[in-house]
Amino acid sequence: MDTVIKLTSQSQGRDRIFRATQYACALTVYLLRKNSEKRDLVDKLKSLEKNMSAGRKLFRLGNAVNSIEAAKRSVQLSDRVLCLCLTAANVNRALYFICDNLVWASSVGLLRNIDRDRWNLNASRCYFYSLTMNLIRDVYVILQLMLQRRKDARFKQKIEHHLNESSEAAEVIIPQLDAFVFVLLETLRSHPTVALDTVKNICDLFIPLDKLGIYKSNAGVVGFCGFISSLIGIATLAQPSLRIKP
Q: What is the pLDDT tens value at each position of the chain, 246 positions in all?
A: 566 656 665 778 888 999 999 999 999 999 999 898 999 999 999 999 999 998 888 878 888 999 999 999 999 999 999 999 999 999 999 999 999 999 989 888 888 888 999 999 999 999 999 999 999 999 999 999 999 988 877 777 777 776 677 655 555 456 677 778 888 999 999 999 999 999 999 999 999 999 999 999 999 999 999 999 999 999 999 999 999 988
**What is the pLDDT, as a whole number, of residue 82?**
97
Cα(49)–Cα(56) distance, integer angstroms: 11
**What is the pLDDT, as a whole number, of residue 163?**
67
**What is the pLDDT, as a whole number, of residue 4?**
61
Residue 202's domain comprises 2-242
**What is the pLDDT, as a whole number, of residue 174?**
64
Cα(161)–Cα(148) distance, integer angstroms: 19
Number of independent structural domains in the chain: 1
**What is the pLDDT, as a whole number, of residue 172?**
47
Task: Report whether 200 contacts 227 (CB < 8 A).
Answer: no
pTM: 0.90
